[in-house]
Chains A and B, each alone.
Chain A
């Protein structure tokens, strides 16, 4: 009889090779104790955290911790129900109002995770007779949302508004509803979407536009409303989706929109309806973190300064870093055989980053993906850079990668 696990044989082989090449499983790292937003204990050693997406450091916000404690005292630790049944408390509606007000939108829906926000919105919005147009480098939650929807799904080339336009025209379906989905900042590479150009295509073709600001919320724009604010095209974006688990340091997802039908989407959105709502302490901590983010715009300025410092350092070392400076900085290596030892060496020397291997990377090369925080000190960034230099030397990774790649 066939084994359910025979399809895992290839994965077992790949994982075995990764562990054998480096001595540990990079996908099972345990942070034994977070000491601050920037330092955690891993394998008994104090380690600089450069791979946690905690852009503003708010996972350790004292104000958010106190709000969570008070909410748990007052309301308990869980709702034990779905948003459309017993899972909506006053706190949930208050947070939705706060998020909607922050974005100057009519209403907001709060989901239990950012993944579910994309899954839910995309599958609920795009039906059988509709077209979904996805950036080729979209996050898994966007692809999974497209699979849960009954829509016809077309990919366009990454960050290429002309290609989107061409593919919409090729459909030759002027009367069909179309939803275009892009991300503000792409999570693996740190690439920033040309949202204004996408908005222009949307207007010309009569499509709807959804922007996932998961990694750009709290990061881009004068007020931290993301890439659409930064490019001055918020009015052309129909739906903004995002997460609380990056800049706000908690967990949960949201969608904001001016479309009044959002109220009806709540009743046609499986990832919203068929799961428990966020517990009171998370809702309260998120609201407190949002207030803190709004009161401290200097965190955003510091974050960008830190990103520029790390990026400039990588360029100086001769590592192949992302072109654009953003809080996600990916160092591209040429081969998996280089990337695995180097990632392990970085961890041994005291820096944690994310190891991203193909096919989870956009082109077939591996990435050492770094995320910067507003709370990193200049000394921590310089120390991380020195450790990158040392690790590259120890692992025979050529510096001045751009020359060797040519």
Chain B
């Protein structure tokens, strides 16, 4: 099964919105740390949840290049296509 960046991005947004502290008007271009006010630990914990939902491993060194929700989605699609 191949996943698209749009599809993964939508799933990430859905997961984020289940947290009541996250602003309601987020989209794929939102910056995870700046716009969502996540600290580094919150980002790592959130990525862990996404790993379990999508059955994928996202190595921590990849997070350094990720700023937006779409960046994370693109990274996951790339990791899954290699797997």
Spell out A's residues near B (CB within 8 Å). 136, 146-147, 152-155, 157, 167, 170-172, 358-359, 364
- With A136-B48, A157-B48 as known contacts, state yes or no: A359 contacts B41, CB within 8 Å: yes
Q: Report whether B83 and A172 are in contact in the complex, using a CB–CB cutoff of 8 Å.
A: yes
B48:A171 contact, CB within 8 angstroms: no
- Min CB distance A230 to B, Å, is 28
B44: contacting residue among A136, A167, A172, CB under 8 A: A136
Point out the residues of chain B lying under 8 angstroms from A155, CB to CB: 44, 48, 60
Instruction: Sample 11 A-B pairs with CB under 8 A, ordered by A number.
Output: A146-B60, A147-B61, A153-B59, A153-B61, A167-B57, A170-B56, A171-B57, A172-B83, A359-B39, A359-B41, A359-B42
- A138: min CB distance to chain B, Å: 11
On whether A153 and B42 interact (CB within 8 A), knowing A136-B48, A170-B55, A172-B83, the answer reads: no
Q: How far is the CB of A123 from chain B (nearest CB, A)?
A: 13
Given A136-B48, A172-B83, are A154 and B57 neighbors across the interface (CB < 8 Å)? Answer: yes
Which of A147, A155, A171, A358 has the most B CB atoms < 10 Å from its CB?
A155
**A170 with B57: CB separation less than 8 A:** yes
- Asked whether A136 and B57 contact (CB < 8 A) given A172-B83, A359-B39, A359-B40, the answer is no
Residues of B within 8 A of A157 (CB): 48
Chain B 2-25: CB-based contact to A (< 8 A → 1; otherwise 0) = 000000000000000000000000
CB neighbors of A among B44-83 (8 A): 44-45, 48, 51, 55-57, 59-61, 83
Complex CA distance for A147 and B62, rounded to whole angstroms: 11
Chain A residues whose C-beta falls within 8 Å of the C-beta of B41 in the assembled complex: 358-359
Tell me the smallest distance from the CB of B55 to a CB of chain A, in Å.
Answer: 7
CA distance A157 to B57 in the complex (A): 13
Q: Is the interface of B mostly helix, strand, loop or mixed?
A: helix
Q: How far is the CA of A152 from the CA of B61 in the complex (A)?
A: 7
Task: Please give, as numbers and ranges, the residues of chain A lying within 8 Å of B57 by CB-CB distance.
Answer: 152, 154, 167, 170-171
> In whole angstroms, what is the CA distance A155 to B60 when docked?
8
Cα of A198 to Cα of B25 in the assembled complex, Å: 42
Give CA–CA (A171, B57) in the complex, Å: 7
Complex Cα distance A180/B35, Å? 34
B60 and A153 contact, CB distance less than 8 A: yes
Bound-state CA distance A154–B44 (Å) is: 10
Cα distance, A153 to B41, chains bound together (Å): 15
Known: A155-B60, A358-B39. 13 other contacts (CB 8 A): A136-B45, A136-B48, A152-B57, A152-B59, A153-B59, A153-B61, A167-B57, A170-B51, A170-B55, A170-B56, A170-B57, A172-B83, A359-B39
Q: Which residues of the partner chain B approach A136 to less than 8 Å between Cβ atoms? A: 44-45, 48
Tell me which residues across on chain B come within 8 A of A152, comparing CB atoms.
57, 59, 61
Return chain B residues, CB-CB under 8 Å to A170: 51, 55-57
* Closest chain A residue, CB of each to CB of B39: A359
- How far is it, in angstroms, between the C-alpha of A126 and the C-alpha of B42 when the chains are bound? 25
Set of chain A residues within 8 Å of B60, measured between Cβ atoms: 146, 153-155
B61 closest partner in A (C-beta): A153
Instruction: Report Cα–Cα, A301/B54, bound state, in Å.
Output: 48
Which chain B residues lie closer than 8 Å to A146 at the CB level?
60
